[in-house]
Structure 1
Amino acid sequence: MDVYHNGNFRGGSRGSRLAPVPIQRTFLWEKQEILVPAVYVGPAGAVLDVCARIPVEDMAAFLKKWPRERRLALAAPEDYEQVDADNPGSQDFLVEMSLDGTPLQLASSSSINWYPESVFRMGNEASAPAQEGEWANDPEAEQLMETYGCSRGCCWHFGRLNFNWTGEPVLSPKKLSLDFRAQLSPVTAGYFTTAADTAGQTVKVAHPATGQEYTVTLHECLPIRHDFADMGAPGVLYPEHGCMLSYSVSPEISRDLFDIRDCANGDKPRKKAAPGEHSRSDGATAVFLAGKSPVPQRRMAASSMYFEPVEEIRWRIVFQVRKKPHMEVSFVI
Structure 2
Amino acid sequence: MTDEQLMQIDAENPLAININRKVVLNGAVLSGTHGCGLSWNPCFPEGNGPEAKNVIQHYGLDPAYGWAIWRAAFPWTKKRKPKITTLSITLMQRPAAISGPHFHVSAPGERIEFIHPTTGTQHTLIVQEYEQREISREHFNSQNQESPTHYTVMRYALSQDLPDGTFTVTDCVHSDQPRQNRTNPNESQAFIGICVSIFGGREQGKLHVACSALHFEPVNDVEWRMVFYEKSREDVTVEMIQA
Shorter-chain TM-score above 0.5: yes
How big is the shift at 1:79? 3.1
**Which has the higher mean CA deviation after the structures are superposed, 83-92 or 101-110?**
101-110
Of residues 136, 153, 176, the one that matches 1:244 is 153
- Give the share of equivalent positions with the same residue, in percent: 24
How big is the shift at 1:190? 2.0
> Which amino acid is the alignment partner of residue 156 of structure 2?
Y
Q: 2:98 corresponds to which residue?
A: 187
Q: 1:298 corresponds to which residue?
A: 207
Does structure 2 retain, via aligned residues, the 8 Å contact 1:179–1:329? Answer: yes
Q: 1:119 corresponds to which residue?
A: 44
Gaps of 5+ in 1: 1-73, 121-128, 130-135
Does structure 2 retain, via aligned residues, the 8 Å contact 1:220–1:246? Answer: yes
Does structure 2 retain, via aligned residues, the 8 Å contact 1:241–1:306? Answer: yes
TM-score of the aligned structures, taking structure 1 as reference length: 0.61
How big is the shift at 1:176? 4.2
Q: 1:156 corresponds to which residue?
A: 67
Which of the pair has the greater relative contact order for Cα pairs under 8 Å at 6+ separation? 2
> Which amino acid is the alignment partner of residue 307 of structure 1?
F
Gaps of 5+ in 2: none
| 1:162-311 superposed matches below 5 A | 162-166=73-77, 169-170=81-82, 173=84, 176-195=87-106, 198-272=107-181, 275=185, 283=193, 286-290=195-199, 296-311=205-220
Instruction: Kindly tell me the number of residue pairs found equivalent between the two proteins.
Output: 239
Does structure 1 retain, via aligned residues, the 8 Å contact 2:161–2:206? Answer: no
CA distance in structure 2 between the aligned counterparts of 1:206 and 1:281, rounded to whole angstroms? 45
Cα–Cα, structure 1 residues 146 and 166, in superposed 2: closer, same or farther, change >3 Å? same
Cα–Cα, structure 1 residues 328 and 102, in superposed 2: closer, same or farther, change >3 Å? same
How big is the shift at 1:253? 2.5
CA distance in structure 2 between the aligned counterparts of 1:94 and 1:214, rounded to whole angstroms? 30
Cα–Cα, structure 1 residues 211 and 164, in superposed 2: closer, same or farther, change >3 Å? farther
> Which amino acid is the alignment partner of residue 239 of structure 1?
P
CA distance in structure 1 between the aligned counterparts of 2:221 and 2:74, rounded to whole angstroms? 47
> Which amino acid is the alignment partner of residue 179 of structure 1?
T
> Which amino acid is the alignment partner of residue 114 of structure 1?
W
Compute the RMSD of aligned alpha carbons.
Answer: 3.2
CA distance in structure 2 between the aligned counterparts of 1:86 and 1:95, rounded to whole angstroms? 21
CA distance in structure 1 between the aligned counterparts of 2:200 and 2:26, rounded to whole angstroms? 45
CA distance in structure 1 between the aligned counterparts of 2:138 and 2:203, rounded to whole angstroms? 26
How big is the shift at 1:98? 3.1
